[in-house]
Structure 1
């Protein structure tokens, strides 16, 4: 192991975890020292094939993993012993229980957006609050939808254009790989509360944002779609708004009139680009759909729920460990490693 690199442990090798693992492996200043889980099926077997060291999260997991021939490097405690920081990508509420272990061992940790803000006292979005995450003991990378909200509204805020924002979210019913287990069919399910939880979640990162969200779950699994109405601080041209969005390297402007008319066609584009799993780390925002009327802005975009938080997690690792104090430099490094470019 390179002693100069920060040693990162990954707990939970699922939809997000496997992507975070691959992203860590691409970085020059950090090292994936092992992945830890309770599963013994094809998912963790893929980690073995990739050459990642596998650790069992429990005694029961150790038995089941050994029964199917998975080579184990040890248990969760042994993995934490050799790590500088742990990224927890376990299912909702599991991570909150793991926090007690991390705190007892005095190891830095990163949680994902399924956990509550109060669990870490800090929520992270690289382009908004990288500096406040520097050398912290823990943070929470906000959810896919909240990440997209922060990216677009932060770009407008930095350009001094943002007064307030009202958004409607069309949320995918479940992750694609679990489509056979559940989800919804021939119906739509609105979230009961207005605002939906994403607006207040964005304010956990940036309390200054005047944002209200509404959400409805729809019968598809590829991604989320957002529609936004923004009150601008002043009358602005479409060109001024686009210039603001272009300051974010993680907003990709796309064109409806070029055949990118739906989430499935956008997914196909990123598959053709050679992205692993066809992942879209960027917010895909329709440039030719965007409209400005006086001091009102209207736009729509698509969010890849499986991929958008991956670069944020890498940046959060750098912030907490302090290996890069400049947020813009970290974002640039992460973008380069993942093939993100405007």
Structure 2
């Protein structure tokens, strides 16, 4: 029996995959066909306990899942057969090997930012490339850092303020849940090339952006921190810049003088307001740190590497499926289900 909803398969149930699956369940125009993975550990047991249909991404994974008490609904091919769109959340470079399967089964698919732009020929940030994704067979939701770059710089570009931007990225060492397995301790690791890859990646979304990035890996796991110096097209006032950022529903202005002085404080705030996993979907720009000096702008913001791409992925599903042709309407719908916008209102009122 058809429900008229877009049936979504999630391949890879890790940091991003579990959040995509949970977000899909919240959408009234989508249904989760199931999740696939090769793991049989606690993560899949949690998914099974939440009532998600579990599929074995490889034949050998099925026996291990069953042995651990996980009910296996079938193979990856069987999951894909039951889906309209597949969101690939497998580890970096694994997804590229899955493309042949998706194309063989004529399934629309979404890759994450660890893959190259050329894998799909289209890079997605909802505020910029929703309409150009409509009806496509595939797109790539760009990385967490690239998403934040495009969101913030596009906000300035839309009001005619952006000339060029130069950013320094302090990148978290690894995901929090696996920091015991790797990461770095008592050191900083600069990326070996300038520009770092995020600036050119942002240009796959908007080729007109004059952006250069430098990055360094730091020994913490909560999120990324960006510092930006932007040359504006003209002299302006701080409030005009803030108004430009306020026009984006996925940017939140936060303040140091209200106690949100560090990454851990913002993360704790997300937990306190009931966000699942303490997720910050927005780019959190420090409003009281932001400075405008003539036609130069300086600001810093926080990027939740586990969360920022989740609303973009939901919008990308609608764009590929063609169930909503208006990007703003899709964003409004996604924002409502994920509580995006509430943060901005709380920040404004204290």
Same fold (TM over 0.5): yes
TM-score normalized with structure 1 length: 0.99
> Residue 301 of structure 2 aligns with which residue?
301
- Hey, what's the Cα distance between the residues in 2 that align with 1:17 and 1:2? 25
CA shift, 1:326, in A, is: 0.2
> Residue 172 of structure 2 aligns with which residue?
172
> Residue 146 of structure 1 aligns with which residue?
146
> Residue 99 of structure 1 aligns with which residue?
99
> Residue 195 of structure 1 aligns with which residue?
195
Q: Look up the SS of the partner of 2:184 in the other structure.
A: coil
> Residue 287 of structure 1 aligns with which residue?
287
Q: Look up the SS of the partner of 1:130 in the other structure.
A: helix
Q: Look up the SS of the partner of 2:284 in the other structure.
A: strand
- Hey, what's the Cα distance between the residues in 2 that align with 1:186 and 1:68? 38
> Residue 73 of structure 2 aligns with which residue?
73
Deviations 1:146-166 (A, max 9, x none): 000000000000010000000
Q: Which runs of 4+ in 1 moved over 2 A?
A: none
Does structure 1 residue 230 correspond to structure 2 residue 234? no
Deviations 1:193-217 (A, max 9, x none): 1000000000000000000000000
Q: Look up the SS of the partner of 1:165 in the other structure.
A: strand
- Hey, what's the Cα distance between the residues in 2 that align with 1:182 and 1:256? 31
> Residue 90 of structure 2 aligns with which residue?
90
Deviations 1:45-75 (A, max 9, x none): 1110110000111111011111112111110
Deviations 1:119-170 (A, max 9, x none): 0000000011111110100000000000000000000000100000000000
CA shift, 1:305, in A, is: 0.3
1:1-342, aligned counterparts within 5 Å? 2-341=2-341, 342=344
- Hey, what's the Cα distance between the residues in 1 that align with 2:236 and 2:108? 44
Structure 2 gaps, min length 5: 345-350
- Hey, what's the Cα distance between the residues in 2 that align with 1:189 and 1:129? 33
- Hey, what's the Cα distance between the residues in 1 that align with 2:127 and 2:292? 24
- Hey, what's the Cα distance between the residues in 2 that align with 1:261 and 1:255? 7
- Hey, what's the Cα distance between the residues in 2 that align with 1:64 and 1:148? 39
Q: Look up the SS of the partner of 2:239 in the other structure.
A: helix
- Hey, what's the Cα distance between the residues in 2 that align with 1:178 and 1:81? 32
Q: How many aligned residue pairs are there?
A: 342
- Hey, what's the Cα distance between the residues in 1 that align with 2:278 and 2:82? 33
- Hey, what's the Cα distance between the residues in 2 that align with 1:76 and 1:59? 9
Structure 1 gaps, min length 5: none
CA shift, 1:3, in A, is: 2.4
- Hey, what's the Cα distance between the residues in 2 that align with 1:37 and 1:273? 31
The root-mean-square deviation of aligned C-alpha atoms, in Å, is 0.7
